[in-house]
Amino acid sequence: MRGKLVAGNWKSNGDLVANRRLLEQVRASAASMHGVEAAVCVPYPYLAQAQQILGDSSVVWGGQDVSHFGAGAYTGAVTSTMLTDFGCKYAIVGHSERRAVFGDSDALVAAKFDAARKAGLTPILCVGESLQERESGVTETVVGRQLDAIMAVSGVAALARAVVAYEPVWAIGTGKTATPAQAQAVHAFIRNRIAALDAAVAAGLQILYGGSVKAANAVELFSQADIDGGLIGGASLVADEFMAICRAAVPRA
C-alpha cells in the first residue's frame, strides 16, 4: 500500500528568523499527525537549520535541486553527498522553474536523478506540460518523454526508490489548479506507462500532484485513485496552510 507524502518546496524564500518559526510550527503540528509523511525542501543554506530543528521529529527535509557532478572543480554546484551530509531524504529534480529558467534539459534532469539516487537520496522527479502543450493536446507526449529520459539512464527499477510529481506548468504559482479529474488522468497515464515496464514498481510509486494546491482543494485532489499527496510551493510557506494540506492527505477510514 502506497503511503501519502506532502512535500513543501520553499523555492528561493526564507531567512533564519522566519524559517525557525515555520519549521518549529510544522514540527509541532506534525507530531500529532499520522499516516502522512511531511517534508520540506529548503534552500541549500538552510539545510543545517532544517536538520537542527527537525532532526528528532517526524518531518523530513530535502534539497530543491542537486548537481549531477560529484566532488570536484564545479564552482557553485552542490553534490548529492553534500545533501546526505545534512540529513536530506529528498532532492527535487526537474522542477519546471529549473527547466525553464536554468535550462535543465531532460538529459540533465536524468543525470541529476541518477546522481541523487546513487547517493541514497530519494529523487522527487517533476514532470508536466506547459499551457501551450496542453492546449495542443501533447500533454502525454511531453510527460512520457520526461519519464522515459529518466528510465533510459537509471532504468525502471530506479523508480522503486523515487517519487514523481506531476506539476502542470500552467498551474504552478498561478492560482489555477488542475481539476481533480485532469490531474487523475495524467497520474493514471504516468502509472500505466511505468506499469508497462514493471507493474510492481508502478503500483508502489508515489505520484504527487503540484500546482496551486491549497487546503481548500487538497482533499478532493488527494482522494483521487492515483494521487498520493502533493508538492506544495507557495502554501508551504504558511505553517497553518501547509499543515492543513498535510492533514488533507491523512487516509480516511
Which residues participate in catalysis according to the annotation? 95, 167
190 lies in the site for ligand PEP, by CB under 6 A: no
Spatial contact of 3 and 35, defined as CB atoms under 8 Å apart: yes
Q: Which stretch binds ligand PEP (CB under 6 A): 44-52, 100-108, 147-155, 204-212?
A: 204-212
Among 234, 239, 242, 245, binds ligand PEP (CB under 6 A): 234
- Candidates 213, 217, 252, 253; CA nearest to 233 is 213
Q: By C-beta, is 201 or 214 nearer to ligand PEP?
A: 214
241 interacts with ligand PEP by CB under 6 A: no
Identify any residues that bridge with 23 across adjacent strands, giving them in sequence order: none
User: Does the protein bind ligand PEP through residue 8 (CB under 6 A)?
Assistant: no
Q: How far apart are alpha carbons 198 and 201 in whole angstroms?
A: 5
Structural contact between residues 163 and 208, judged by C-beta atoms closer than 8 angstroms: yes
Q: Does 62 bind ligand PEP (CB under 6 A)?
A: no
Q: All 3 cell numbers of residue 45?
A: 543554506
Task: Catalogue the E-assigned strands of 59-121.
Answer: 60-63, 90-93
Q: Which is nearer to ligand PEP, 19 or 230 (CB)?
A: 230
Judged by CB under 6 A, which stretch of 52-60, 144-152, 165-173, 220-228 contacts ligand PEP?
165-173
Burial status of residue 67 (CB atoms within 10 A of its CB: 0-12, 13-18, 19 or more): buried
The residue type of 181 is A
Of 3, 45, 55, 173, which lies in the binding site for ligand PEP, with binding defined by CB under 6 A?
A: 173
Task: Output the residue with the shortest Cβ distance to ligand PEP.
Answer: 233
Which residue ranges make up the site for ligand PEP (CB under 6 A)?
9, 11, 167, 172-173, 210-213, 231-235
